[in-house]
C-alpha cells in the first residue's frame, strides 16, 4: 500500500475530492482519542468509524471520538430494529481495513452508513484514511456523499 495509498485515499484522488492527509504515531488504546491528541485537533471534529451488526447485516457508523455510538439511535436512523457492535474479524473482512484503521471511505463492501449530525457543525472533519496513524481531513458534505450516508443523531 505504501506509495499507492489506501483504498480510501485512492477513492478521494479518483473522485477529485479536496482533502488533507495527516500522519501521526498511533498510540495504544483509543485510536481516535490518541489521533486527536497527536494532531492537536478537537476530539469533536475527529470521527471514528464503527461497524455494527444491524438486524443480521453489517452497517457503518461515523461518530465523534469524543462520544460514543448510540446503538438504538443508529438502528432507528438506518431503519433497523436492533444494532450491536460487529465482531472485529467481520468488520475487518467486510471493510478490508484493520480495527483502529477502518475508514468509512473505500471499504470493500459499501454498507448502509450513518454519520452523526455534529459533523455538519464543522467546515472539515477528520476520519481514518485506512490505516492506524493516518487520518484524512475533508468536508463533511464530501464524506456523506462518498459513503451514501444518512445524517442523524447517532452519538451520545
Q: How confident is the model at residue 125 (pLDDT cuts 50, 70, 90)?
A: very high
- The DSSP H or E segment spanning 116 is strand 113-116
Distance between CA 136 and CA 133 in Å, rounded?
Answer: 10
Q: Determine the pLDDT at residue 2.
A: 44
Q: Determine the pLDDT at residue 120.
A: 97
Q: Determine the pLDDT at residue 32.
A: 79
Range of the domain at 143: 19-152
Q: Determine the pLDDT at residue 26.
A: 78
Averaged pLDDT of the chain? 93
pLDDT digits (tens, 9 = 90+) for 21-80: 999 987 766 777 888 888 999 999 999 999 999 999 999 999 999 999 999 999 999 999
CATH classification of the domain holding 36? 3.90.960.10
Which residues are registered as beta bridge partners of 64?
Answer: 47
| 12 domain-assigned | no
| 2 domain-assigned | no
| 9 domain-assigned | no
Q: How confident is the model at residue 1 (pLDDT cuts 50, 70, 90)?
A: very low
| 1 domain-assigned | no
| 11 domain-assigned | no
Q: How confident is the model at residue 81 (pLDDT cuts 50, 70, 90)?
A: very high
HEC secondary structure over 23-43: ECCCCCCCHHHHHHHHHCCCH
Write down the number of H helices and E strands in the chain: 5, 8
| 6 domain-assigned | no
- Work out how many domains the chain is built from and give that number: 1
| 3 domain-assigned | no
| 25 domain-assigned | yes
Q: Determine the pLDDT at residue 28.
A: 66
The answer, as to whether pTM is greater than 0.75, is yes
Amino acid at each position: 500500500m505504501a506509495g499507492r495509498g489506501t483504498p480510501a485515499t485512492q477513492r478521494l484522488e479518483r473522485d477529485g475530492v479536496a482533502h488533507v492527509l495527516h500522519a501521526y504515531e498511533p498510540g495504544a488504546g483509543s485510536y481516535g482519542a490518541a489521533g486527536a491528541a497527536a494532531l492537536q485537533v478537537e476530539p469533536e471534529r475527529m470521527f471514528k468509524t464503527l461497524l455494527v451488526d444491524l438486524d443480521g447485516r453489517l452497517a457503518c457508523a461515523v461518530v465523534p471520538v469524543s462520544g460514543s455510538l448510540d446503538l438504538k439511535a443508529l438502528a432507528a436512523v438506518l431503519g433497523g430494529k436492533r444494532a450491536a457492535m460487529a465482531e472485529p474479524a467481520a468488520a475487518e473482512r467486510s471493510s478490508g481495513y484493520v480495527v483502529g484503521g477502518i475508514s468509512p471511505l473505500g471499504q470493500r463492501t459499501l454498507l448502509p452508513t450513518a454519520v452523526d449530525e455534529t459533523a455538519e457543525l464543522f467546515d472539515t472533519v477528520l476520519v481514518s484514511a485506512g490505516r492506524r496513524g493516518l487520518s484524512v481531513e475533508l468536508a463533511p458534505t464530501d464524506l456523506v456523499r462518498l459513503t451514501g450516508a444518512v445524517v442523524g443523531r447517532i452519538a451520545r
